[in-house]
Amino acid sequence: MGTKTKSSTVVLAVSLGALLLTGFAPVKPDFGLRVGNVWTYSQKSGDVTSTVTETAVRFVNSGQAHALEVKSDYSGGYQGYQYRGQNELGLLSYYNSEMRGPGVQWSLPPTVLVKMPFNKGLTWTWIEPFRGQTAGNVSAADIEKMKSYVTATIVADEEEVTVPAGKYKAMHVHVTSESETMGKSVSDHWYVFGVGLVKSVTKSPEWTQERALTAFTPGK
């Protein structure tokens, strides 16, 4: 799975050097964890459409773990940071030390976005701590109620998906998240080996957000 069907633009880059930096044995195929990669997405939130450009800047480390720092630039003018890694567990997302970064909160274990061995039907769970901003006097008990219980399932290990960047065969991951305070949301994510995320759709009772890859430039 994870190959683009246009033979002239096949991207199946296995970045062994980058994966060695994770501190584990190389895992392949990878999800585009390479410094210099640039992803451009069209993002629609409600009635608002924007452009998001993500650039893989560098690897950062805690001495025991490494993550790829990805800088996000939004057409609205603000920025954010994400931290990605990969090891024998699968594709990982590390928590930011601040809401949008930069910086990694190494004290929290990373979230497994896609779990190995990448088999259809594989399900895993985790608890997502509340990471947003609050107003007024909010107790520790209130914060506890804001955490989310998350379940992810690989519903297809090779599903054809079309986005503006092209047609791909992707791994489809379905995620449900439920919180006593925040309610329930469902999301679907499509990942391609050597590229990463090519499409996502997240829905809650109040809003829907869609993201689709419009261009991918691999790092050199």
Judge contact between 183 and 151, C-beta under 8 A. no
CA atoms within 13 A on the CB side of 52: 23
Name the DSSP letter for residue 77. S
Residues in the chain: 220
Tens of pLDDT along 193-213? 999 999 999 999 889 999 999
From CA 41, how far away is CA 197, in angstroms rounded? 10
Q: Determine how many CB atoms are found less than 10 A away from the CB of residue 4.
A: 21
E strand or H helix that includes residue 109? none
More confident residue, 159 or 29: 159
Tens of pLDDT along 118-156? 999 999 999 988 665 555 566 666 666 678 999 999 999
Tens of pLDDT along 5-49? 443 333 333 333 333 333 334 456 688 899 999 999 999 998 999
Top CATH class, 7-132+145-217: mainly beta
Record the pTM. Answer: 0.82
Domain boundaries, the chain: 7-132+145-217
From CA 15, how far away is CA 83, in angstroms rounded? 17
What are the phi and psi torsion angles at 186 (to 5°)? -130, 145
Amino acid identity at 184? K
Q: What is the pLDDT of residue 184?
A: 92
Tens of pLDDT along 70-118? 999 999 888 999 999 999 999 999 999 887 779 999 999 999 999 999 9
Judge contact between 154 and 173, C-beta under 8 A. yes
